[in-house]
Structure formats: C-alpha cells, structure tokens
Amino acid sequence: MGTTTRVLVVSKPVVPPWDDGSKTLVRELVSGALGTEFVVPVHRGLAWDPVRDGIVAAKQEAGRVEPWAVYRTDPGKSPGFGQKAWLMAGLVRAPRSDLVHFFFAPNLVSSMAGRLAGMIGSRPVVQTVSSAPKSYSRVKWLTFADKVVVLSRDTRDGFLSAGVPAWRLRVIYPGVTVPETVDRAGSEVRKRYGLGQDRLVLYAGDYDFSQAARTSLEAALQVCRQQTGVRFLFAGRIKNETSANVEQQLKARVAQAGLTDRIRFYNWLPDFLDLLDTVDLTVLPAESVYAKVDLPLTLLEAMARATPVVVADSGPLPELVVGDVGRLVRAQDADELARTVLGLLRDERALRVMGDQARQLVRERFSVERMAEEYEDLYGELLDGGRSRRER
C-alpha cells in the first residue's frame, strides 16, 4: 500500500471504562497497529482524548485515531436495536475510509449494516466476531464481509460446520499488552483491599451464561476449608438482574460457611490490572464463553503478568493452555477444580515456572503487536488486490 490505510471501525463506542472485551479489543488494535489510521465510534457530547483515555500512548501520534460521533448517547453495555439502526444510518455519512472493520457478534442489524458499508464506495469489509454465537445455525446468513475474523480455532470450526467457506475465514487470536515489569508483591494494592500476604486465586468471569461462577465458588469453599492462607477473589461484572441475583446467591453460600473474609466479591475495579499483578492463579471452569471474547482478555492479561490459569477443557479455552502454562479441568467439576488449585498452590516452584512460561506464551502468541501485525497484513491483502469478494 503506497499510502497510510484509513480504517473505519464499527463497534461499541471506543471509550472508557474498559470493562467490555469487544471495545477493549478495538483499543488494543488501534494502539498496536502503527501503520494504520483509525476512525472509531464514540457518542455525542463526549470530551474525547485518545492519549488520556488510554487508546494510544503519548509517544504515538494521536492523529492516527479520530472520533466518529455516531452514537446519539452512551449505549451502555450493549447498543439496543435503535442505537444499532442509528449506527447503520450513520454509515452513509461516515468519514472517508479505505476499509470498514466491524466488531460485532453475528446479528441481523450489524449484518445489514455490513452489507451497506460494502456497497458505499465499494470498500472492502472485515468482520471480527468478537464473541462466538450461542448457535451456529444462522451464521452463514449473518456473515457479510470479504473476510470474517474469528478469535479461536474452535469458533472457526463452528463456522465451517455451518457452511461458511474456509476462504472467507481467518483466525486472529486476541492480543494484550505485556507489561515490562510486574509487581508481584503488590504491597499497595494488597493493603488497599486488606488482603495481607495470603495466596490469591481469582475468578473474573461472568455470573450468567455458564455455571463457571457456581463451580468456582464450590471449589473455593473446599480450598478454604483445607488450606489456610488462601483467599478467593470474585471479580465478575454485574451486567443485568440475572447476574446480580447469582452474585447474591453465591454471597449467601459464603456467609453460611463463615468464610466472608476469605472469599471476597468485587465488581469492576479501576485498578484491576494492579490487582492482577498480585494474583497467584486465575480460574475459569466455563463450559461456555458465550458473550465473552473467545479467549477472555482477563486470562491473557493475567498470563502476561506471569500468572498460570486453570480453565475448562471445552470450547476455545484449551487453546490458551499451550505447554506448561496452566491446567485443564472438566467444566462444572468443582471437586477437580479444588484439587487442581490446592496442588498448584502447594508447589510454589511449579507455579513460578508455569507463570514464566505463560508470560512468554503471551509475548509469542497473544501480544498486541502480533495481533495488530496480522490485522494490518489482512488489510493489505484486501487493498492490494488480494480481496476475495466472491459469490455467496
């Protein structure tokens, strides 16, 4: 490409707080793709600053990213039908771009918008499936782009089984920033939350969509009864009434067991990454990662901080456990999860080795730089004659 590529992003508003995997994925791509200009959606009336808001680093050119005030108001966790329809209409008057890049799970409105975007100016279109669908029965008719990016081999296989042609699909793993240093002692954050010097196990998944939170809680009760000096931290987002009810049920179980000091509950934390520095182990025994990024960014961020993971042996999660970076357990098996956590916490040397390997794996396979490079290569293919718009 002779000139800088300009990409119009169609997604949820790319603004703080960074508590949503889809828009965080956009932020990481924008920060890492140094050879591309991006136009990103925001909501009107926003005092938007890409450096202050953590979208690009101060050392980079803030001019590489500009806001597109296409949302009338802040849509919150998920844009409703009206917001998406407004977004689709906004494509007609969108800023100039060479390529349009969608970040939405397959749905009717975004699919209509994607087809419209391709017709306007005959621009190539990329569709990143930010989270795998509950069912693959309709995805063939909801994929619209020249290239459809999925975030795991497991989701690719689901799309292939639904009849989406292999030439249209591309697997690009999500990427996170690997910090140069990690404060494993975390004295300040430990003091802030009253955690002492206990070993810390973190569950940072959803409370709904799977049984992972309940499984983790039952395992936590077993671990805390058998091992002193261990605390479990639940940092699940309260996104709706269902998740709030589940959290209350879990808290009641903990109170009944008399373990409220050792099993703590938090929601979204502004200093979450600082807390991650101090965690010894992260767990996600989820039989489904529906409504999450296939390979959850929280797990990748923990691994980037030399923290091993324990995840379910189903869906895309096993793609995280390459080499000795963690353990696989059966989904919904609290007993196996408890045994695995206890075994790892009692072997400090093994934990340290696994953590080091986890950090190295993120550098090699799940880094922002690697993800951004693969997306920029894909943009180049589509714009330099490798475009594969075929009969559907």
pLDDT higher than threshold 90 for residue 357: yes
Nearest to residue 57, comparing CAs of 40, 33, 21? 33
For residue 213, what pLDDT band results from cuts at 50, 70 and 90?
Answer: very high
Q: What is the pLDDT of residue 240?
A: 87
The H or E element spanning position 6 is strand 5-10
Whole-number average pLDDT of the chain:
89
DSSP state of 261: T
For residue 275, what pLDDT band results from cuts at 50, 70 and 90?
Answer: very high
For residue 390, what pLDDT band results from cuts at 50, 70 and 90?
Answer: very low
Q: What is the pLDDT of residue 75?
A: 67
Q: What is the pLDDT of residue 77?
A: 61
Q: Tens of pLDDT along 127-138?
A: 999 998 888 988
Lowest mean pLDDT among 16-20, 53-57, 129-133: 53-57
Record: fold of 187-365: Rossmann fold (3.40.50)
DSSP state of 176: B
For residue 392, what pLDDT band results from cuts at 50, 70 and 90?
Answer: very low
Q: Does 142 or 59 have the greater pLDDT score?
A: 142
What are the C-alpha distances in Å from 308 to residues 109, 359, 378? 39, 9, 31
Q: Tens of pLDDT along 75-94?
A: 666 666 667 667 777 887 88
CATH number of 5-175+367-383: 3.40.50.2000, 3.40.190.80, 3.40.720.10, 3.40.50.300? 3.40.50.2000
pTM: 0.92
Q: Do residues 205 and 214 touch, judged by C-beta distance below 8 A?
A: no
Chain region(s) in the chain for CATH 3.40.50.2000: 5-175+367-383, 187-365
| Mean pLDDT confidence for 317-341 | 97
Q: Is 125 left (phi over 0), alpha (psi -120 to 50) or beta?
A: beta
Q: What is the pLDDT of residue 119?
A: 65
- Best-predicted range by mean pLDDT (33-37, 43-47, 109-113, 342-346): 342-346
